[in-house]
Chains A and B, each alone.
Chain A
Amino acid sequence: MKKILFLIAFIISSFSLSAQNLSVAAKPNEILRAMHDELNRSMSDLKLESLERPYFIEYTLTITDKFNANAKLGNLTEKHNRKIAELSVKVRVGSYERDNSNFMDLSSLFSGGIIDISSLGNQVPIDMNYKVLRRELWLATDAAYKSAAETYSKKLASLKNIIQKDTIPDFAKAKPFKGVDTIIIEKIDFDKITNEILETSAIFRNYPQIYSSNVSFEFIPVRTYYVNSEGTEYIKDEFFTGFEAVAYMQADKGTPVVEHYNAYARFPKDLPSLDSLKKGVDAIAKNMMRLASAPTLEESYNGPVLVEGQAACEVFAQVFVPNLIAQREQSSEGRFSFGGSDKTNLFQKKIGGRVLPEFLSVKDDPSLNTFQGVPLLGYYKIDDEGVPAQTVNLVVNGYLKTLLNNRTPIKRVLESNGHARDGSIMISNLFITSTQDKAMPQKDLKKKFLDLVKQRELPYGIIIRKVIDKNILSTSLSKITFGNTSYFMKQNAIPLLQAYKVYPDGKEELLKNIEINSLTAQSFKDIINVGNKLYILNYLAPTVIQSFSFGSAGYIGSSIIAPDLLFEDMEINSNDKDTPKLPFLAPPVVNK
């Protein structure tokens, strides 16, 4: 484990951030004191008649001060600033071996309660003092304890009639840890940012063929105060900044054409310059114009595919990554079981087995702030459960070594490796690396690819340079198309934005409306070579473990760093869904 130095003493005076006011009226030590005092009282006195007292309590207080703005064609359509404070209390009754967790209390599901470990996500006053916080903690702990004690007895009852094959503990022990990871950032000029999105969104005015477009910006700083009964406590600041431009139109015969340009970072200062943003937005508009008149694939393609840059990271993110997350099966009353889908739990029992070609390795490293000068979105020092962030070698020379986990053990991963993120388990900065002998300069890789095409006597091969981001598809894009993005939503298909037919002479031809089909995690074993340069993708990773059962966020800021990937075999088709009708009228022409 990598040793990380932490500042143990709390910085009292310099806590307040200048621009985003994450601090509340109370001083950090006052907040922690309130948390400690109520936690200690609850650990020693909280007991309901014959029921057991809690063996573990944790308090998480988060203060979020979100800013977001939206613009269309150079005009502001939305601007919000909202500060909220949320308190989550988790109480565990029983013991580390067996407690109230990993059990789905179905009755509480139907009564609208929060399931699993009795956790209560409560909105609390945004201004806080010792007294007010104590009160909130008192009531929330009381409710959490009652529900935990009830769930625990239900779980014990349901276990009476079965012989458990595995007796994996319900909760992993972790060393107490104290840490502070707060950051003072420069004042953020939101007026300037607003002007920037106005300016970038106005670019679409030059493309009247585009039906609708939107440019949005959001900045979400979160401060977390955490205390648990094992002696762990931390304060940390986390940041997310996002810029998204999306656009939609239809080609003849109604085929929907969409594009997105997005940039995510921790801080606004790390976003590309206004000039680059404008170039990026203009580039997607131009690509749409090309796509609209581009041909599609007449028949299904099966053969070598070179996946480059953003596309390499995206296919890795969409298909391979979800399998790297540990998923503990939940039991329930009536013994229904709840686990992940087949699409995401292929590797749960595969530790030790080969999952990639032997020249590829995968590691997850939350400790890296930047890579090759590019700021990474997945950076953190302390995970949500107060476990120090750790570098995890997931796949070594093709063989799966472990899975990412929090403090909920699974059979093969009994301890946390510091990946509890936003109420779920998620990658941080995921690196796909190759041994030297299989990594080639781009030119050689393309030559190798074309050689394969020739060997197979195919008339052409396919290069993929950009894949639709699934999160953007179902959020911003869905909104501006009145749901016409459902055209792109299919099981087992990955819609492509920039894919090219490449003829043996190297000539490239853009293809419209095509998708990768039946790509699974096993398909990555068919990678035969990779590029020698790494592409960095900061993205919002969809949570693998269903967020409804854990109250987690739906998407978590992460990074993937991957080389270009040469697949020996991949199936590519045109999307054969029925297309929506074209609009009845042409867009309005406004005389200036």
Chain B
Amino acid sequence: MIYAIIISLVLFISNFDASAQTQSKLIQIVKPELQRYMDSLKTQPTPPYYISYYIADNRNINISSINGVLDNKIIDSSRSLDIQVRVGDYKFDNTHIIRGTSYDYSPSVGQIELPFNDDEQTIRNIIWLATDKAYKNAIERYEKALTNAKVKVKEEDTSADFTREQPVKFYGKGNIITPNVDKIIPLLNTLSKKFESYPWIYSSNVSFRGNSRKKTLITSEGTETETYENYFYIYVNASTKTDDGMDIPLYKSYFSFSPDSLPSADIISKDIDQLISLLDGLRKAPLAETFTGPAMLSGSAAGVFFHEIFGHRIEGYREKNPEAAQTFKKMVGQKVLPSFLNVISDPKRKYIDHTPLAGYYEVDDEGVPAQKVDVVKNGIFKSFLMSRTPIEGFDHSNGHGRKSPGYAPVTRQSNLIVLADSTMPVENMKNKLRQIAKEQGKDYGLYFIVVEGGFTIIQRTIPNSFNVMPLVVYKVYVDGKPDELVRGVDLIGTPLTTFANIVAAGNDMETFNGVCGAESGWVPVSASSPTLLVSRIEVQKKYVSQSKPPILPAP
């Protein structure tokens, strides 16, 4: 078996010392107000030990088209400010987890609008009042946390609340990109019109989403960073309904760092043709039955699978919450995957081959330089992804504190990459799938090509499980009958058992670029993996909508 994936890394070398640019005027305006607060509040009984201002210059664009006409067009610019004020100390501060409450009613100042232009009086005035409010909230929250710590049992995790990091000064190059709407709209209209002649496709659209922002962070520790985040997507969505009421959605998405490098109309158009014929196949496909047995997951399906089931469990701060399941908490140094598998999280990698990776960045949203993390090496669990929220045994960030404007940063994934030391061609894997199915006395194994995404439960009070929603699944028959498209199943299971059952990896590599939503908002991420073969998975019947297809035929 040849490890045939040539990962041509295009490593972006960020130079943290010799930055080309100097601090912007915005930093010069904000800094004195930050300093004034730090200095003046020193004499207060509960002074702040950390204040940060995170300012985002945002340009969002969202255009969609349905059946050849413009559906929606949103182009928005904003400049927003998020404030963090920490009182107490690194060991115990106002962000300390308050245990045993179902909902934390602590007030927040939310997202604050700043003027587009760098007017000193206006910006400082807004920051002044907002910081005052944020500081008052911090004192209140701190008192609550202190009391809570006194009345509750001793904490399981005795780690501090905030890591100490070296101050960073980084002024990145880049610019805010405004896509050419006049070019995009006709493209979307032409593409979406292709669905018009299929009355059985009840809903469809083709959309363009762009997000371009400059992020400025300034902290009382001396960190000053200016970074750019640009990501652009084209999404194609179409869905139909079967006679038994099942909704069948399919999608195709394209990601790039600039609107000009998205695929051409021809490529997307061909993909739409394929998508339509697949959708047609699916609505006519038989229902799959409940099944336990072997399965193959395509690279992108395995990517989503890893992002949901594995990725969310390696986000460090989740190990702190006593109500979370903490699947991997005591697993450092132990075997969690078969020994031929490695998992890395690498925000500094921008491409695999020529595929862009959405989770790329240079400095995270807490001002910590992005770092490649070996999460699993030869099957052994090595490290969590870390933000500046420490956990036992990990008292530094590895540059995975992320957020979207309006939220407080928490540990998030970046580019999750599953690498195999030994691989086999995908065709051979299919034969192996047949072989395992036969050994287990099954007529077939399942091959998951496209999955929609999924959800995973990490609370303790509910079974610690996952549910991944496949869109395109084939039965691969033991007796060599042609593969058969089926519909109507969800992939379910418990994480640790499923990981242990991975038996082989393909010599391919596929990437799923997406936007991941969690406590700190939406952040772009990617997940890449070779095709994987799992000796035993479980599928259950999908939730079926009880509403019938439309009574009257399409007009």
Binding site for B on A (CB under 8 A): 25, 37-38, 41-42, 45-48, 70-80, 82-84, 123-129, 131-132, 134-135, 137-139, 142-143, 145-146, 205, 211-212, 482-483, 581, 583-585, 587-588, 590
Contact partner of B551 (CB less than 8 A), chosen from A47, A75, A79, A483, is A47
Question: Contact between A78 and B78 (Cβ–Cβ < 8 Å)?
Answer: yes
We find that the number of chain B residues with CB closer than 8 angstroms to chain A is 52
Binding site for A on B (CB under 8 A): 32-33, 36-37, 40-41, 44, 65-74, 76-79, 107, 109, 113-117, 119-122, 124-126, 128-130, 132-133, 135-136, 196, 202-203, 547-548, 550-552, 554-555
Q: Which residues of A contact B117 (CB under 8 A)?
A: 75-76
Interface of A is mostly: mixed
Inter-chain pairs besides A72-B115, A80-B76, 16 sampled, C-beta below 8 Å? A42-B552, A48-B551, A73-B122, A74-B122, A75-B122, A78-B113, A125-B70, A126-B71, A131-B196, A142-B552, A212-B126, A482-B109, A581-B136, A583-B129, A588-B32, A588-B33
What would 23 A/B residue contacts be, using CB atoms closer than 8 Å?
A: A42-B552, A46-B551, A72-B115, A72-B126, A75-B117, A77-B113, A77-B116, A78-B78, A125-B65, A127-B71, A132-B66, A146-B548, A146-B551, A212-B125, A482-B109, A583-B128, A584-B44, A584-B132, A584-B135, A585-B36, A585-B37, A588-B125, A590-B124
Contact partner of B555 (CB less than 8 A), chosen from A41, A75, A123, A584, is A41
Contact partner of A76 (CB less than 8 A), chosen from B115, B124, B202, B547, is B115
Question: Contact between B119 and A212 (Cβ–Cβ < 8 Å)?
Answer: no
Q: Which residues of A contact B120 (CB under 8 A)?
A: 590
A588 to B41: give the CA distance in the assembly, Å. 14
A123 to B116: give the CA distance in the assembly, Å. 31
Q: Which residues of B contact A584 (CB under 8 A)?
A: 40-41, 44, 132, 135
Listed from nearest, the 9 A-B pairs whose CB atoms lie closest are A75-B115, A127-B70, A127-B69, A125-B71, A134-B555, A588-B124, A142-B550, A73-B122, A583-B132
A125 to B207: give the CA distance in the assembly, Å. 12
A280 to B238: give the CA distance in the assembly, Å. 53
Q: Which residues of B contact A482 (CB under 8 A)?
A: 109, 129-130, 133
Question: Contact between A70 and B69 (Cβ–Cβ < 8 Å)?
Answer: no
A132 to B125: give the CA distance in the assembly, Å. 50
A80 to B77: give the CA distance in the assembly, Å. 8
A547 to B242: give the CA distance in the assembly, Å. 36
Closest to B128 in A: A588
Contact partner of A75 (CB less than 8 A), chosen from B116, B136, B548, is B116
Q: Which residues of A contact B44 (CB under 8 A)?
A: 584
* Distance in Å: Cβ of A84 to nearest Cβ of chain B: 7
A77 to B79: give the CA distance in the assembly, Å. 7
* Distance in Å: Cβ of B138 to nearest Cβ of chain A: 12
* Distance in Å: Cβ of A384 to nearest Cβ of chain B: 24
Question: Contact between B115 and A77 (Cβ–Cβ < 8 Å)?
Answer: yes
Contact partner of A82 (CB less than 8 A), chosen from B32, B37, B74, B547, is B74
Question: Contact between A41 and B116 (Cβ–Cβ < 8 Å)?
Answer: no
Question: Contact between B72 and A123 (Cβ–Cβ < 8 Å)?
Answer: yes
Say whether, besides A78-B113, A482-B109, A482-B130, A585 and B555 are in contact (CB < 8 Å). Answer: no
Question: Contact between B73 and A83 (Cβ–Cβ < 8 Å)?
Answer: yes
Contact partner of A125 (CB less than 8 A), chosen from B72, B121, B552, is B72
A72 to B128: give the CA distance in the assembly, Å. 14
* Distance in Å: Cβ of B433 to nearest Cβ of chain A: 40
A72 to B119: give the CA distance in the assembly, Å. 10
Q: Which residues of A contact B136 (CB under 8 A)?
A: 581
Say whether, besides A80-B76, A125-B72, A135 and B125 are in contact (CB < 8 Å). Answer: no
Contact partner of B67 (CB less than 8 A), chosen from A38, A135, A137, A211, is A135
Q: Which residues of A contact B109 (CB under 8 A)?
A: 482
A127 to B185: give the CA distance in the assembly, Å. 11
Q: Which residues of A contact B77 (CB under 8 A)?
A: 79
A126 to B66: give the CA distance in the assembly, Å. 10
Contact partner of B132 (CB less than 8 A), chosen from A71, A77, A139, A585, is A585
Closest to B66 in A: A125
* Distance in Å: Cβ of B241 to nearest Cβ of chain A: 11
Q: Which residues of A contact B113 (CB under 8 A)?
A: 70, 77-78
* Distance in Å: Cβ of A36 to nearest Cβ of chain B: 12
Q: Which residues of A contact B135 (CB under 8 A)?
A: 584
Question: Contact between B114 and A139 (Cβ–Cβ < 8 Å)?
Answer: no
A38 to B196: give the CA distance in the assembly, Å. 18
Say whether, besides A74-B122, A584-B135, A138 and B550 are in contact (CB < 8 Å). Answer: yes
Question: Contact between B555 and A590 (Cβ–Cβ < 8 Å)?
Answer: no
A135 to B552: give the CA distance in the assembly, Å. 11
- Tell which of A25, A38, A78 has the most Cβ of chain B within 10 Å: A78
* Distance in Å: Cβ of A206 to nearest Cβ of chain B: 12
Question: Contact between B116 and A126 (Cβ–Cβ < 8 Å)?
Answer: no
Q: Which residues of B contact A80 (CB under 8 A)?
A: 76
Contact partner of B547 (CB less than 8 A), chosen from A70, A125, A138, A146, is A146
Q: Which residues of B contact A42 (CB under 8 A)?
A: 552
* Distance in Å: Cβ of A52 to nearest Cβ of chain B: 13
Say whether, besides A25-B69, A583-B128, A138 and B554 are in contact (CB < 8 Å). Answer: yes
A46 to B126: give the CA distance in the assembly, Å. 58
Q: Which residues of B contact A139 (CB under 8 A)?
A: 202-203, 550
Q: Which residues of A contact B555 (CB under 8 A)?
A: 37-38, 41, 134-135, 137-138
* Distance in Å: Cβ of A252 to nearest Cβ of chain B: 17
Q: Which residues of B contact A212 (CB under 8 A)?
A: 125-126, 129
Question: Contact between A126 and B114 (Cβ–Cβ < 8 Å)?
Answer: no
* Distance in Å: Cβ of B194 to nearest Cβ of chain A: 14
A73 to B117: give the CA distance in the assembly, Å. 12
Question: Contact between B132 and A205 (Cβ–Cβ < 8 Å)?
Answer: no
Contact partner of B107 (CB less than 8 A), chosen from A123, A483, A588, is A483
Q: Which residues of B contact A138 (CB under 8 A)?
A: 550, 552, 554-555
Closest to A34 in B: B555
Q: Which residues of A contact B547 (CB under 8 A)?
A: 143, 146
A79 to B79: give the CA distance in the assembly, Å. 11
* Distance in Å: Cβ of A80 to nearest Cβ of chain B: 7
A45 to B551: give the CA distance in the assembly, Å. 9
Q: Which residues of B contact A74 (CB under 8 A)?
A: 119, 122
Question: Contact between A126 and B70 (Cβ–Cβ < 8 Å)?
Answer: yes
* Distance in Å: Cβ of B128 to nearest Cβ of chain A: 5
* Distance in Å: Cβ of A148 to nearest Cβ of chain B: 13
Q: Which residues of B contact A483 (CB under 8 A)?
A: 107
* Distance in Å: Cβ of B40 to nearest Cβ of chain A: 5
Closest to B78 in A: A78
Q: Which residues of B contact A583 (CB under 8 A)?
A: 128-129, 132
* Distance in Å: Cβ of A65 to nearest Cβ of chain B: 11
A143 to B37: give the CA distance in the assembly, Å. 57
Say whether, besides A146-B547, A482-B130, A84 and B202 are in contact (CB < 8 Å). Answer: no
A181 to B36: give the CA distance in the assembly, Å. 59
Contact partner of A72 (CB less than 8 A), chosen from B73, B122, B552, is B122
Closest to A483 in B: B107
Closest to A123 in B: B72
* Distance in Å: Cβ of B365 to nearest Cβ of chain A: 22
* Distance in Å: Cβ of A61 to nearest Cβ of chain B: 14
Q: Which residues of A contact B554 (CB under 8 A)?
A: 135, 138
* Distance in Å: Cβ of B45 to nearest Cβ of chain A: 12
Q: Which residues of B contact A83 (CB under 8 A)?
A: 73
Q: Which residues of B contact A47 (CB under 8 A)?
A: 551
A370 to B122: give the CA distance in the assembly, Å. 39
* Distance in Å: Cβ of A113 to nearest Cβ of chain B: 11
- Tell which of A75, A123, A587 has the most Cβ of chain B within 10 Å: A75
Contact partner of A585 (CB less than 8 A), chosen from B32, B40, B126, is B40
* Distance in Å: Cβ of B142 to nearest Cβ of chain A: 15
Question: Contact between A46 and B122 (Cβ–Cβ < 8 Å)?
Answer: no
Q: Which residues of B contact A123 (CB under 8 A)?
A: 72
A45 to B122: give the CA distance in the assembly, Å. 62
Question: Contact between B69 and A132 (Cβ–Cβ < 8 Å)?
Answer: yes
Q: Which residues of B contact A37 (CB under 8 A)?
A: 555
Closest to A25 in B: B69
Q: Which residues of B contact A78 (CB under 8 A)?
A: 78, 113
A127 to B117: give the CA distance in the assembly, Å. 34
Q: Which residues of B contact A124 (CB under 8 A)?
A: 71
